[in-house]
Amino acid sequence: MLNYLESSTRDNGFYAFILTSAVIGASLFQGVEFHYVYSHFLQFALGATVFCVVLSVYLYMRSLKAPRNDLSPASSGNAVYDFFIGRELNPRIGTFDLKYFCELRPGLIGWVVINLVMLLAEMKIQDRAIPSLAMILVNSFQLLYVVDALWNEEALLTTMDIIHDGFGFMLAFGDLVWVPFIYSFQAFYLVSHPNEVSWPMASLIIVLKLCGYVIFRGANSQKNAFRKNPSDPKLAHLKTIHTSTGKNLLVSGWWGFVRHPNYLGDLIMALAWSLPCGFNHILPYFYVIYFTMLLVHREARDEYHCKKKYGVAWEKYCQRVPYRIFPYIY
Ligand code: NDP
């Protein structure tokens, strides 16, 4: 299936980002008032939510006509659950893959555009000539995350969202509402809650962010390269376990450190995004708390599927790599 997806999907998310940036830059140059998005934030979020409900109903209805082979392994036959998790794995209109398109582009690009709106709102409301250091850190960190995801768009093809879950309300809402409107919360918070960050503190936060990024990118790229070409000479130094499915599991390198090194890196970065907001309120830390719960639950789901898929080989892997996400803790 991976080969089929690879040959039929277009990895041009990064170019979509460049095009959007050019349009935003031109609009700013023409004096378009972006403050409107800040002052009507709730209305935009509500509009996106209504769109997702309509899209999910469409996805469910069309899945009723889909051939059995096109259904997601996560679908259960229960209408409510399937509406939520998605019944059809990769719904398409002609060659246009709806899930692949929605996974990164509208949500991630929308997220950084909203962050920019918050940066401009901060300057306007707080009467600043330049944005605060806290706002610059939040914007730059999250911009790096988004650009990295779009640059490595192809790595999406080996994630659970693409290979296991269908396209239903969960992913539609997550991709099109939750990511752009909730993940931009730190920038939103800073507009009305200024926080001065000293340079030594900023340096520590930058180091934390970079550590998280190195783990996150290293782990995701290593697994992606291994799944694409298990005999890649660059990965020849890594130890593997053979499984009865014919696929191997990495047991050294990042994947020998903990069983989900990519989640560990992601969580470290999430903490670095919240710290510029200071410690006066718990709300900027909502993302780290929610994301920890999401990834712990996601890890349990993945563990269940891998155990079913790989049986004894998976148990061997768990013995050799005992910690799930946090070394010596969990
Ligand atoms: P992973 O990319 O971790 O994929 C899990 C799969 O990897 C398993 O099902 C298995 O599939 C394979 N795998 C597991 N262990 C090994 C091993 N030792 N060797 C080789 N293959 C292995 O999961 P996700 O899709 O959950 O996450 C992808 C990225 O997206 C992560 O970095 C995560 O942090 C991020 N993410 C971000 C979110 C956000 O909101 N910002 C939300 C969710 C995820 P198989 O063997 O079949 O290939």
In the chain, where the domains are located: 1-196, 198-330
72 lines ligand 1 (CB under 6 A): no
Task: Read off the pTM.
Answer: 0.86
163 CA → ligand 1 middle, Å? 10
Each residue of 51-105: pLDDT tens digit?
999 999 999 999 999 898 889 888 888 999 999 999 999 999 988 899 999 998 8
At 44, is the pLDDT very low, low, confident or very high (cuts 50, 70, 90)?
Answer: very high
Q: Of all atoms in ligand 1, which is nearest to the CA of residue 305?
A: 9
Mean pLDDT for the chain? 92
Helices H / strands E in the chain, number of each: 15, 4
What is the rounded CA–CA span in Å between residue 118 and residue 130? 13
| β-pair partners for 93 | 96
What is the rounded CA–CA span in Å between residue 158 and residue 155? 6
182 CA → ligand 1 middle, Å? 22
Each residue of 231-279: pLDDT tens digit?
888 888 888 999 988 889 999 889 999 999 999 999 999 999 999 999 9
Indicate the top mutation candidate among 1, 156, 160, 305 to test ligand 1's pocket, ranked by most ligand atoms within 8 A of CB. 160
What is the rounded CA–CA span in Å between residue 255 and residue 218? 10
Q: Are 128 and 191 in contact (CB under 8 A)?
A: no
| β-pair partners for 88 | 71
* Dihedral-angle region of residue 328 (phi above 0 means left; psi in -120 to 50 means alpha; beta otherwise): left
- The DSSP 8-state label assigned to residue 323 in this structure reads -
**Is residue 129 exposed (0-12), middle (13-18) or buried (19+ Cβ within 10 Å)?**
exposed
Q: Are 201 and 146 in contact (CB under 8 A)?
A: no
Q: What angle do CA 37, 38, 44 make, to 5 degrees?
A: 50
